Amino acid sequence: MQLSEFLEAIAALQLITCQPLSTTKTNNPVHPREHLPDLTEWTGIKRDIKKLLDPKLGFEVSPFSGTRLADFIRTDAGRATSCSDESGVSALGNKAYENPALVILENFFGIIGRFCYHGERGKGKFVLEWEAPWALATPDNLIEEFNSGRLSNGRPTKLVKAVSQLYGYMTFNNMRIGALCNYESLYLFQRVGSSGLQVSPPFKFSDRGTESPVAALVYICHHVVTVGSFHHSPIGQGPPGTHMLKIEDFVVRGTWKGKGYTEILRE
């Protein structure tokens, strides 16, 4: 099977909720939304995905050892599955999106990796935050809803809290790339400058080919391995009500002592 056929054949089951039992509370580490300016669009990312994958579309795909390509392809079009908690959503996403992406990465780019928990380290790294679709609905316009919701005086929406939590985790861990997925739609994020954050258009579970969530994950995994995932930038603006002291000219008169230390002689 060629890569073009594989990308068209991969299809995630439609997810329906079945008496949701729990949903993980979304926290806001250090209230990062107060530091985050308006979201902006990550322009050109879909073009870059096509640029990466188009030259490979005519080549054959081989499965992992001990697996079959049929393990990653859904033949029961239109079938739905139920799920009752976020762990189940993450498990379904691993099967529908993450595992096929790993097959493509190993076949065509020689990248052998796995999706693991945040405590483990690797050369290329980004954070993928899973949310249940009944807890975080797919917005009509994520950028518009986040920017307007962030500035409102009421309680922050689930979307504002989820994006803020992701941004807070990325900044705390010096990570440049992040992703947010509620199974129905995948969004990719990248930090820019001192405190900026860009977000991609949505990659929906019904999309196919190089527009699919699988293609997006292949691209972003390849990107963090080849370009890098580290991004350290100082916070450009502190929280409201704080001042920063900057010392530009500071002269100390004294004499140097030996053995690597200094004794200051004050006048």
pLDDT of residue 12: 76
Taking residues 92-111, what's their average pLDDT? 89
Mean pLDDT estimate for the chain: 78
Task: State the pLDDT confidence band at 245, using cuts at 50, 70 and 90.
Answer: low
Angle at 237 between CA 233 and CA 238, to 5 degrees: 105
For residue 178, list its beta bridge partners: 127, 189
pLDDT of residue 206: 87
pLDDT tens-digit series, residues 129-177: 999 888 898 999 999 999 988 877 777 889 999 999 999 888 888 889 9
- The helix (H) or strand (E) run that includes residue 147 is helix 142-150
- The residues near 121 (Cβ < 8 Å, ≥ 6 apart) are none
Amino acid sitting at position 231: H
Q: Which residue has the tokens 């002689």?
A: 265
Domain boundaries, the chain: 3-263
Check pLDDT > 50 for residue 30: no
Taking residues 186-202, what's their average pLDDT? 92
Cβ neighbours, 10 Å, residue 247: 5
Task: State the pLDDT confidence band at 63, using cuts at 50, 70 and 90.
Answer: confident
Angle at 80 between CA 77 and CA 82, to 5 degrees: 160
Whole-prediction pTM: 0.79
Own/partner pairs, 153-161, CB within 8 angstroms, 24+ separation: 156/28, 156/33, 158/26, 160/33, 161/26, 161/27, 161/28, 161/33
Helices marked H in 12-141: 45-53, 86-93, 99-109
Task: State the pLDDT confidence band at 264, using cuts at 50, 70 and 90.
Answer: very low
116 or 77, greater pLDDT: 116
